[in-house]
Each structure stands twice: as structure tokens, then as C-alpha cells.
């Protein structure tokens, strides 16, 4: 945190230097953002996982810039101290560097994000460099890249053989050299994730990448026990909100059907 109590990219670097863990979650709306601020979370990612957990798509591919702008604005309205990072969705930074810069700029200027995240390692490094030079802080993302699902056909763990580990290390270093302020490691085997973390000055934030990363991120629906069709192995539920919500819906339905709600105390 800086002197105003706000988390910045410098806060995250300091946490790494001091060996303090960085605590990160996704959010997609105003209400959740307010609670994450209250809970003292460091970084809120408005992830394109939005597509699956909020919009009901099968994967992140259909998520648009308009979706990201809309949800980032809501998160920003609920935020006062966390670092808010918005995802650059599928194809938003592949058509040209010019378009990528414009899209990153929109997430910052129009929606109020403090930084953007984009998927890709060495192949994304020159674009990251241009964004950073333009004043846009970038969170890198390597390992499993959900936006590659159509190309890859499956979500697979990375870093399980030497060639893959070497590639990941090169990706991570390229992003660091390009000026990324941190890098997400998604579904990287725990030992190589630790090696990457040790070899970088910038922090790593792991998801499904073991305990040796500098920080952790979870999709908030997984943490709250709100599952759709997929329940990833790495996701630990800290609550069973699905059960709590179903009980609430059931109680409401029963009381309305039985004429018990609204009672006199809820009537004018
Ligand atoms: O979209 C997202 O939520 C993400 C996290 C899983 C890192 O990219």
C-alpha cells in the first residue's frame, strides 16, 4: 500500500521483496468489489472468466471488449483501495498493436482499471513493451492460456517436461524484460512454478500452480462454492454459497406459496 492506503504495482513488488504473499481474487460487479475492499484483498482481476461464471458461456472466447468495459466499470465503482486489473479479451490485442493499445487504453481511461492483463509469453513481449512505454501497466499471463482453448482443444497442466519448463522460463523472463509488473502462472506444475518465481524480480501470481508463487488468485465463484459445470481440482471452496442460496430461494418460495411472506412487519 502507498501513503494513501491504495495498493499499487509498487506495493506488489515490495511484497515480493519482503516475502509477503499477494492475495488476489476475481470480481465482476460492484457489490463483490466492495466486499473485497473490506476484506483487504490486494488485487482484483476483472477476468474474462466472466464469460463462464457470469455470462454462462462455455469458455472465454465470446467475451467482448464491451463486456469487459461494462463489468470493469462496476468493479471500479465499488473499489477504493485494491489494484484493479482488467483482462484484454479474445482477439482484442491480436489484430494490430495499434488496436491492442487502443483497447488497453479504453479499459484504463473509460472503465477506470489501473492495469490490464493479457495472455501470452514471448510472442506477447513486444506488445507488452509498447503498452508499458505508453504508460499502461501490464500483468502477464503464461502457462495454461484459456483463450487458446479452440487451438489446444483441452485445458492441460504446463511444465510437466523439461522442454515445457524451459519455454515457461523464457516466457516469464521475456515478460519481465518487457516491463510487465507481475505474471500470472496458470496451471503450471508446482516445482517449475517455484523455479520461475525464484528467477524473476517481478511477482508471480499462481492459479493451480502450487504454493511457491508470490501470490495466489482464484475465480471468486470457486472460492465461494458457486460452481457451474466445471469444478477445477485446484479450486478450494471456502464457503458453500450454492447451498446457502438454494436454501434461501426454497424458504422464500415456500413462504410465498403458504402466504407467510410478506408478514405484517413487511407491509405498509
Ligand atoms: O479470467 C480469469 O479469471 C483469469 C484468472 C483465472 C487468472 O485469467
Scored b (16 or more CB within 10 A) or e, 100-124 reads bbebbebbbeebbbbbbbbbbbeeb
Three-state secondary structure call for residue 142: strand
Domain spans, the chain: 9-223
- Residue-wise pLDDT for 22-61, tens only, equals 999 999 999 999 999 999 999 999 999 999 999 999 999 9
Alpha helices in 18-115 (DSSP H): 30-38, 50-53, 65-78, 97-109
pTM of structure: 0.96
Q: What is the 148 CA–ligand 1 centroid distance (Å)? A: 13
- Whether the pLDDT of residue 3 is over 70: the answer is no
Residue 4 has a pLDDT of 75
- Classify domain 9-223 by CATH architecture: Alpha-Beta Barrel (3.20)
140 lines ligand 1 (CB under 6 A): no
Distance between CA atoms of residues 20 and 146, nearest Å: 28
- Residue-wise pLDDT for 177-191, tens only, equals 999 999 999 999 999
Residue 66 has a pLDDT of 98
Distance between CA atoms of residues 90 and 28, nearest Å: 17
184 lines ligand 1 (CB under 6 A): yes
- Residue-wise pLDDT for 68-122, tens only, equals 999 999 999 999 999 999 999 999 999 999 999 999 999 999 999 999 999 999 9
How many beta carbons lie within 10 A of that of residue 11, not counting itself?
16
Q: What is the 268 CA–ligand 1 centroid distance (Å)? A: 46
How many beta carbons lie within 10 A of that of residue 160, not counting itself?
12
Three-state secondary structure call for residue 238: coil
Amino acid at each position: 500500500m502507498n501513503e494513501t492506503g491504495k495498493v499499487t504495482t509498487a506495493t506488489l513488488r515490495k511484497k515480493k521483496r519482503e516475502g509477503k504473499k499477494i492475495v488476489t481474487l476475481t470480481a465482476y460487479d460492484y457489490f463483490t468489489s466492495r466486499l473485497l475492499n473490506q476484506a483487504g484483498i490486494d488485487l482484483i482481476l476483472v477476468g474474462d472468466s466472466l464469460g463462464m461464471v457470469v455470462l454462462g458461456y462455455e469458455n472465454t472466447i465470446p467475451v467482448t471488449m464491451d463486456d469487459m468495459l461494462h463489468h470493469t466499470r462496476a468493479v471500479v465503482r465499488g473499489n477504493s483501495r485494491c489494484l484493479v486489473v482488467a483482462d484484454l479479451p479474445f482477439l482484442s490485442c491480436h489484430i494490430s498493436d495499434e488496436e491492442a493499445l487502443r483497447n488497453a487504453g479504453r479499459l484504463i481511461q473509460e472503465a477506470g482499471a489501473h492495469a490490464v492483463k493479457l495472455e501470452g509469453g514471448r510472442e506477447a513481449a513486444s506488445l507488452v513493451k509498447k503498452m508499458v512505454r505508453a504508460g499502461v501497466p501490464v500483468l502477464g499471463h503464461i502457462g495454461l492460456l484459456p483463450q487458446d482453448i479452440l487451438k489446444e482443444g483441452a485445458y492441460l497442466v504446463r511444465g510437466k517436461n523439461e522442454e515445457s519448463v524451459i519455454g515457461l522460463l523464457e516466457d516469464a523472463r521475456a515478460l519481465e524484460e518487457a516491463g510487465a509488473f507481475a505474471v500470472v502462472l496458470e496451471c503450471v506444475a508446482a516445482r517449475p512454478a517455484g523455479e520461475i518465481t525464484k528467477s524473476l524480480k517481478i511477482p508471480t501470481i499462481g492459479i493451480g500452480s502450487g504454493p511457491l508463487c508470490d501470490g495466489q488468485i482464484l475465480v471468486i465463484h470457486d472460492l465461494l462454492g458457486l460452481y457451474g459445470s466445471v469444478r477445477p481440482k485446484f479450486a478450494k471452496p471456502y464457503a458453500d454459497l450454492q447451498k446457502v442460496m438454494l436454501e434461501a430461494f426454497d424458504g422464500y418460495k415456500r413462504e410465498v406459496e403458504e402466504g407467510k411472506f410478506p408478514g405484517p412487519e413487511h407491509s405498509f
